[in-house]
Amino acid sequence: MYCDTEPQEDVTTLYAVPDDPDSSVVESDQLPWDLGHSVMNHVAIDEVTGLLLKLRNPTNREEAFQRLIAIKDVMPYSDILGPQIVNSSGILSILVEEITSIYPFTTNVDQSPIVFHRALYSILLLQAVAQNTVTNLFAIQHRFPFLGFPFIRYTGKDAAILQLKEESLWLIAYSTQNIDDTAHRCLIDNEIMKVCQKVLEESIAETFLPAIISIYSMLLFDSIQQFKLFTSETSMIITLMEQINHFLKEMGEVKTETENRCIEYIVRLIETLMEHVVFHEPIKKALGSSESRYGSNIIRLYEQPDIAERFSDTRFLVMTSFQKTEQT
């Protein structure tokens, strides 16, 4: 679904700073969601509560940020952190302020590294909200994807901002996992597709390929499933396949961790496309033959022993799809 809708609100106005700076963070027995009642969960909630309280004090903020990032993907913290952030008064406003405070420095990076670190930590914590199935919808309703747009539009070479750019793309990817509301989807699709298209046209697009593949897979899945790809969406898929094609051509037999991560997302996208490729003539033309520009590199990917073993089910689907499209 691709809609002509422009965002109507400034995302920074969606987060209210509490009137009482000393208002408490939500305690373990006050959460509206059932996070379980194990002793471990209560210990984890109490630790997260203490760390979020520390975020309110700029003096302790760096230490609290580092600990929260260290535990955000560790069970049971990963189940707790998103709801705690959402329900702790004033925490979102702190994270948003840390991110938006460095917008001016995307054109002038002469700033303390600590400022960039805090913005990066804030984006990572918002990712925790977006990744949590309980709070994922909150991320969309409160326009989390738009917070990283100034970094995503950055075309320079400063490493700190490029890291913010990559994590901002992942924030979009996690936020768009479950978009059911049509109005939100129109708004998100239109703006996100535009900004991702620009990234794909950059010379360093490969760096951001895993996140962009994830975003495209999520946003285009419904259209692909319903055989209703618009011309603009088809064009975006072809542009994306150009980057994937380049990535596959340059990839060696020994793969880095980033390359392996990228391959997983490529396989997921190819699986979705190949399952329905016969119904989309432009994509069929690009992907539907093992001898086509993209098809030959896809075949080469699946012929590598480690890939064939890791993705045996998908390999069968892709090979079968090639046979079907070559016969039509």
Q: What is the pLDDT of residues 251-308, one digit of tens each?
A: 777 677 777 777 887 887 777 776 665 556 666 666 655 556 667 777 777 778 888 8
Contact 151, 164 (CB under 8 A): yes
d(CA 292, CA 50) in angstroms, rounded, equals 57
Poorest-pLDDT segment among 44-48, 66-70, 204-208: 204-208
Residue 231: what pLDDT?
59
Query: Which CATH topology does 1-180 take?
Result: Leucine-rich Repeat Variant (1.25.10)
Beta strands in 41-162 (DSSP E): none
Q: How confident is the model at residue 124 (pLDDT cuts 50, 70, 90)?
A: very high
Q: How confident is the model at residue 68 (pLDDT cuts 50, 70, 90)?
A: very high
Structure tokens at 3: 């809609």
Q: pTM for the whole thing?
A: 0.76
pLDDT at 243 over 70: yes
Q: Exposure of 303 by Cβ count < 10 A (0-12 exposed, 13-18 middle, 19+ buried)? A: exposed
Convert the pLDDT of each residue in 3-35 to its tens digit. Answer: 444 444 444 444 443 444 444 444 444 444 444
Structure tokens at 287: 């992907």
Residue 13: what pLDDT?
44
d(CA 198, CA 323) in angstroms, rounded, equals 34
Contact 233, 220 (CB under 8 A): yes
d(CA 225, CA 179) in angstroms, rounded, equals 15
Structure tokens at 87: 């329900």
Q: How confident is the model at residue 51 (pLDDT cuts 50, 70, 90)?
A: very high
Sorted by where each begins, the domain ranges of the chain are 1-180, 203-328
Contact 200, 241 (CB under 8 A): no
Question: 287 or 163, which is more confident?
Answer: 163
Q: How confident is the model at residue 152 (pLDDT cuts 50, 70, 90)?
A: very high
pLDDT at 104 over 50: yes
d(CA 91, CA 50) in angstroms, rounded, equals 12
Q: What percent of the chain has pLDDT over 90?
A: 20
Contact 248, 295 (CB under 8 A): no
Residue 223: what pLDDT?
60
Question: 183 or 51, which is more confident?
Answer: 51
Structure tokens at 64: 């609290």
